[in-house]
Structure 1
Amino acid sequence: MTDKSVFPDPVYRDTVLAPLFEGVKANYAAGMASINRAHLVMLAETGILPPTDAAKLAKTLAAIEADVDIEALTYTGEHEDYFFLVEAELRARLGDLGGSLHTARSRNDMDHTLFKLALRQRVAALIDELHALADALIQKARKEADTLIVAYTHGQPAQPTTFGHYLGAIIEVILRDAQRLDAEANGLEHCPMGAAAITTSGFPIDRQRVADLLGFEEPLLNSYGCIASVDYVTGLYSSIKLIFIHLGRLIQDLQFWSAFEVGQIYVPNSLVQISSIMPQKRNPVPIEHLRHMASVTVGRCDMVVGTMHNTPFTDMNDSEGEVQQAGYAAFESGSRVLRLLTKFLPACRINAERVSRTTDAACITITELADTLVRDEGLSFRQAHEIAATVAKAVIKEEVPLGSVSGYSAFQAAFADATGRTPTMDEAAFKATVAANTFVARRDRPGGPAKAALLPALDGYAATLADLVARQNARKTRHATAEKKLNAAFADVMGT
C-alpha cells in the first residue's frame, strides 16, 4: 500500500515541533545568529567559500536578521524548525548559494554549541548571585563575630559558639559549591563546532577560529564526544543541585531557630507575615518559601540528570531541546532562593536574651569546666568529665544557672566527693570558667569560634571569593571581547 502521509503529522507537529520552535524563539535565536556568522567568517577566511559568495551570504544573513520578527513567528510545519526557516530564506533570496552556509557543519555540532551558549549566560547569572550571597554572609559573619548563639547537635543544645562562627561554616560550604560551579562553567567553555555530524569534515576548517569568535576558550577536542558526551549537562546540574541541598540545611536551621520555643533568631517585621485570624502570631514565611523553592530546584536538576540515565552514547533528542529548555527552570527557582536568602539572612539578628536563657537552662558551658579541671587541677579527663556531669545534673534539676552560687556549691561537693580534697578554683574563677564568653574565647585554635581564629578564617574566605570573582570576570571579558571580534570579522566578510 502506498504511504501518502506527509511530514509532519499534525499531532507530532503540535506536541513536539511547535513547542520546540517556541523554545528556539525564546532561547536560541540569538545564539544561532552568532553561530551562523562565526561559521561564515571561518568559511571565508579559510577559502572554503570564495570572498564574493561569502559577502553575499553575509549581507543576506544580516538582511534576514533585520527582516524577520522572531517573536511574531508562529510554527506552521512548513519548515521543521527555525534553523531550516533561516536556510529556506537564504535559498529563496540567493538560490543554491543559500545552501552553502551549511558547508562543513551539522545540526549536531550546532545544537550542542547553542545549548552551551544558552547555559553560559544562565550559569554566569547564577554564579554572580552565589558570589553575592557568599559576600553578604562574610560581611554578616564579621559583624557577628562576638554574637553568642547556642549550637545544637541532634536537635539539642550542645555548646556555645558565635553567629559568626556558624556563618563561617556555611560560607565554607558555599565557597566549595561555588568552586564546583566554577569548574562546570569552565566545562562550558569548549566549543563543539567543527565536529559536524560525528567525525569533523574533509574541508580545511579552523575550529579554533570559530571557538574564538563565539567566546569559547578552545574547541572540545574529540568530535564524537562533541555530539555524544553530555557531561557538560549532567555535571552542571549536579553541581547546581548540591548548592540547594546544602542551602536547604541552613534554611532548616533558620526554621528551627525562629520557632517560638527556641527563639534564637529574630526575623524583622518586613520579612514576617501576620496571621489573618491570630494577631499575635508572627509567621516568618520567607523561610518556608526558601525551603520549598530550594527543593523544587533540586527536583528540577534531578529531572535533567535523570533524563540522561541509560541513554546511548551518541547524538540523541534526550539531551537536546526539550530537556535543555526544561532545565532552565532550575536557574529561575535557584535564582529566587539566592536573591531572597541574600536579603533575608543579613537582616536577621540573634535574640541574646533567649540565647542566654537556653545557655543557662541547658548548662551548655559544662565542657569547659571539665577541660579546666584537667588543666588546672591535674585530673584526668574522664574524672573531670564525671565531676562536670554531676554538677550539670544538679543545676539542671534545681533550674539554676551553672555560674550561680548553687552551681559553685554543687561543684565543690562533686569535686570533694570524687577527689577527697578541696578544689583550688574559687567561686569567682568558677563563674568565669563557665561563662559562655570564656568558653568561646578559649577556643582559639584554627577553625574555632574565638575572634583570633575566626577573623583570619573570614579573611581567607574573602580571598577565595575574590579569586572566584576574578575567574568569573575573565570569562565575561572573553565573551564580550569575542562578540566585538565577531561583529568586526563579519563586517569584513560583508565588505563594509
Structure 2
Amino acid sequence: MPLSDQPLSPLDGRYRRITEPLAEHLSEAGLNRARLRVEVEWLIALTDAGVAGASALTADEQAALRGLVTDFGDAEIAELTRYEAVTRHDVKAVEYLLRDRLTTLGLDRIAELTHFAFTSEDVNNLAIALTVQDALRTVWLPAFDAVLGRLVEKARAWAAVPMLARTHGQPATPTTMGKELAVFAHRLQRLRAGVLSVEVLGKSNGASGDYAAHVVAAPDVDWEAVSRRFVTGLGLTWNPLTTQIESHDWQVELYGRLTHVNGVLHNLCTDVWLYIADGYLRQLPVAGATGSSTMPHKVNPIRFENAEANLELSTGVLGTLERTLVTSRLQRDLTDSSTQRNIGVGFGHALVALSNLAAGLDEVDVDPVALQADLDRNQEVLGEAIQTVVRAEIAAGRSCLTNPYELVKELTRGRRVTAERLAEFVRGLDLEPGAQERLAALTPATYTGLAERLVAHLDDGGR
C-alpha cells in the first residue's frame, strides 16, 4: 500500500480498534445512513398526512422503506459516491438514491414526495442529531461508565487507606486515597447526569424556517403538527422556532458539558500521575511491555499520559464546535456544516482517552507501605489538630493557654518534628486529661477525620 493511502489521523490508524464503534454513527457513511432514515421517515409522515392526495402506505410498504436503512451498506455507500460525483451535493445524492430505490420497491407513485418541501438542513440537522445521540449513548457512555465504575470501585476499596494530603504541593492534613478518588467519582457522577439531560433538538420547517413551500403547495395541511410528530417520532425534541438551520444550542450545551467532563478526567490523570511519581500508587507491570528503550527498570505511566493528550485534543475540537455553532449569520451560512464534519474527531479522541484511563486504573494498586512511611516522616501535620483542640479547651474554659496557633507554629513551621518531640510538646500543654489522651493517641495515619465515611456518598449516586 503506498504511503498516500495510509491514514492521516491516528484515529483511523493507530487507534482504529478503539474508535471503530464511533464510525458506525459519526463517519460519512453513518451520516448518510441517518440522512436516508430521515428522508424515509419524512416520506412516511407525508403519506400518513395525505399530502398532495397521497394515500397512507401499507405496513409492508413502510417496512420495505425502513428496510432500506437497516440494510444500508457497501453497495449504497458506493452508489452515493457515484451520485455525488455528478451532483456535487451530498444530500441530493441521498435523495437520488432513495428515488432509485422507490422504483425498485414499486413505489414510484410517491417519488415526487421525496425530499418534499425540505431544505438540506432539514435532513442534516436531524441526521446529525440522531448520529450524535446514538454515538453518545451507545459508544461514549459505556466507555465513560467503565472509567467511572473502576474509579468508584477503587475509592471504596481504598476508603480507609490513610495518605498524606498535599495542599499547594506541601504536606497537609492527612486524608485517604479512597476519599480523594471518591471526589473525582462524585464530580463525574454529577457531570454524567448533566450530559445525559441535554435535550437533542430537531426541526423540519423549510428554507427559512417558515413552512413557506409547505403551505403554498398544500395549504390545508397542519404543517406544524406534521413536523412535530415527525421530529418527535425520531426520538428528538421538536424545535418550533428556527431560521433555515436548527440553532445548534443543544450541541453547544452538549459539547460544553463534554469538555467539562474532559477537564475533570484530565485532572484525574495528572493527580494519579503524581501519586505514581510519589510512590503512593504502584503500577503493575504488563508482561512483555517495555517502559523505556534504554532503562529496563522503568514502568512509565503511559496510560495516563496518553489519556491527558487525547483529552486535550478532544477538548480542542469540541471546544471549537461549542464556540462556532452558537453563531449563524442571518438565516444561514455554511460555517456550521464544515465544522460539524469534525464531531467524530472530538468524540474519537475522548474515546481513546477513556480507553486508556480504564486500562490505566486496572494497572495500578495502592502502596500502603509507602503511604505510611510518608505519613511517619511528616509528624508536623498534627500541628493543626493540636492547636484546634487547645482552642476548643480555651473556649470551654478548661485551659489557661493563649495563642495556641502561635505556639504550634513556633514548633512546626518549616521544620521536621519527630513523634517524640511532638508528644513531649503535648504533655507540656495545660489541658484536661481527656484532651491530652486524644492528642497523645493521635498519629498522622489516624488523623483523617470522616474521610472513610465520606466515600459512602458514592453509594447513592454522589448526592
TM-score if structure 1 supplies the norm length?
Answer: 0.73
Q: CA deviation at 1:353?
A: 2.1
The alignment status of 1:114 with 2:127, answered yes or no, reads yes
- Whether contact under 8 Å (1:258, 1:265) holds in the other structure is yes
Q: 1:4 aligns to what?
A: none
Q: Which residue of 2 aligns with 1:336?
A: 352
Q: Deviations over 1:122-169 (max 9, x none)?
A: 211223332333233222222111011121111112111111211221
2:299 counterpart (282, 305, 309): 282
In 1, Cα distance between equivalents of 2:329 and 2:169: 46
Say whether 1:221 aligns with 2:212: no
CA distance in 2, matches of 1:183, 1:275: 44
**Do the aligned partners of residues 298 and 63 (structure 1) sit closer, same or farther apart at CA in structure 2, a change above 3 Å counting?**
closer
> Structure 2, unaligned stretches of length 5 or more?
1-25
Aligned residue for 2:192, secondary structure, equals: helix
Cα RMSD over matched residues? 3.3
Q: Give, in angstroms, the shift of residue 461 of structure 1.
A: 2.2
Contact 1:87 1:99 in 2 (8 A): no
Contact 1:264 1:355 in 2 (8 A): yes
3-state SS of paired residue (2:172) = strand
**1:389 and 1:37, CA in 2 relative to 1: closer, same or farther beyond 3 A?**
same
Matches within 5 A, 1:377-392: 378=398, 383-392=403-412
Alignment counterpart, residue 354 of structure 1, candidates 370, 376, 379: 370
CA distance in 1, matches of 2:422, 2:239: 69
Is the aligned partner of 1:103 residue 2:116? yes
2:177 aligns with 163
Instruction: Determine the C-alpha separation between the residues in 2 that align with 1:90 and 1:105.
Output: 14
Q: Which of the numbers 84, 96, 102 marks the counterpart of 2:92?
A: 84
- The answer for the alignment partner of 2:51 in structure 1 is 48
Q: Which residue of 2 aligns with 1:128?
A: 142
Partner residue in 1 for 2:41: 38
Instruction: Confirm or deny that 1:71 pairs with 2:71.
Output: no
Count of aligned positions: 413
Task: Name the % identity.
Answer: 17
TM-score after normalising by structure 2: 0.78
The change in CA–CA distance for 1:180 and 1:254 in structure 2 (over 3 A counts) is same
Structure 1 residues 175 and 58: CA distance shift in structure 2, 3 A: closer
8 A Cα contact 2:209 2:241, kept in partner = no
Unaligned runs of 5+ in 1: 1-22, 416-420, 465-496
1:459 aligned partner:
459
Residue 210 (1) aligns with residue 242 (2): no
Cα contact 1:273–1:284 (8 A) shared by 2 = no
- Give the corresponding residue for 1:482: none
1:297 aligns with 2:314: yes
Secondary structure class of the residue paired with 1:146: coil
- Do the aligned residues in 2 keep the contact of 1:241 with 1:302 (CA within 8 Å)? yes
Give the C-alpha shift of residue 54 in structure 1.
5.8
Deviation readout 1:335-383 (Å, 9 max, x if unpaired): 1222322332254222222222222323223211222223346459972
Residue 165 (structure 2) pairs with residue 147 (structure 1): no
Amino acid at match of 1:221: P
C-alpha distance in 1 between matches for 2:283 and 2:308: 16
Distance 1:431 1:333 in 2: 52
Q: Is the 8 A contact 1:366 1:388 kept in 2?
A: yes
**What amino acid sits opposite 1:406 in the alignment?**
R
Q: 1:96 to 1:89 in 2, by over 3 A?
A: farther
- For 1:354 and 1:364, the matched residues in 2 are separated by 17
- Is residue 151–residue 161 contact of structure 1 (8 Å, CA) maintained in 2? yes
Equivalent position SS for 1:364: helix
Contact 2:252–2:326 (8 Å) recurs in 1: no
Specify whether residues 133 and 279 from structure 1 end up closer, same or farther in structure 2 by C-alpha distance, changes over 3 A only.
closer
Letter in 1 for 2:75: D
Q: 2:34 is aligned with what amino acid?
A: G
